[in-house]
Amino acid sequence: MFGVVFGYATHHLDERRLGDVAVVGPLTPGVEWGRLWQMARHCGRPTAGETELAQWMLTQATRAFVCGSDRIAHFQEQRWKLEPGGKCVRFNSTYANRDQLWTGNMAIDGLAPDQISERHTLYPA
């Protein structure tokens, strides 16, 4: 939808493996994690605070995951990493089955260049 390829994963904070943390970040080379926050600010409510923007991001990631598209790839136990220096938002109460959102520059092992290349979009970031 927005041209940039983003990754969405979950992280577990304890042995229950609930996936209580949502992790979202760009996979497209040269795109920094701040672009995600720009998109949320541009597409979200003008007076939205940080928590509401984080909820918008989680909603978009969940929607893309559930609805699918030609750009969605599902991996079982695929290795991903989130580089240091991103942003963490803790929700006041569980939102979309997640307690936190972590954003940052993300990488997933084994993706081909055509899977993460930016596409033309009608929506400015």
Q: What is the pLDDT of residue 69?
A: 58
83 and 102 Cβ atoms separated by less than 8 Å: no
Q: What is the mean pLDDT of each run of 10 residues along the chain (125 residues)?
A: 78 80 90 93 92 94 72 64 94 92 90 76 54
Domain spans of the chain?
6-116
Q: What is the pLDDT of residue 59?
A: 92
Q: What is the pTM of this model?
A: 0.82
Q: What is the pLDDT of residue 115?
A: 77
Q: What is the pLDDT of residue 73?
A: 59
Q: What is the pLDDT of residue 117?
A: 81
Closest to 36 in 3D by CA, of 52, 59, 57, 15: 57
For residues 110 and 21, give the distance between their C-alpha atoms in angstroms, rounded to a whole number.
Answer: 23
State the DSSP H helix or E strand holding residue 57, giving kind and residue range, or none if neither: helix 50-67
Helices 50-67 & 34-43 angle (0-180, nearest 10): 90
User: Counting beta carbons within 10 angstroms of the beta carbon of residue 40, is it exposed (0 to 12), middle (13 to 18) or buried (19 or more)?
Assistant: buried
Cβ neighbours, 10 Å, residue 55:
20
23 and 88 Cβ atoms separated by less than 8 Å: no
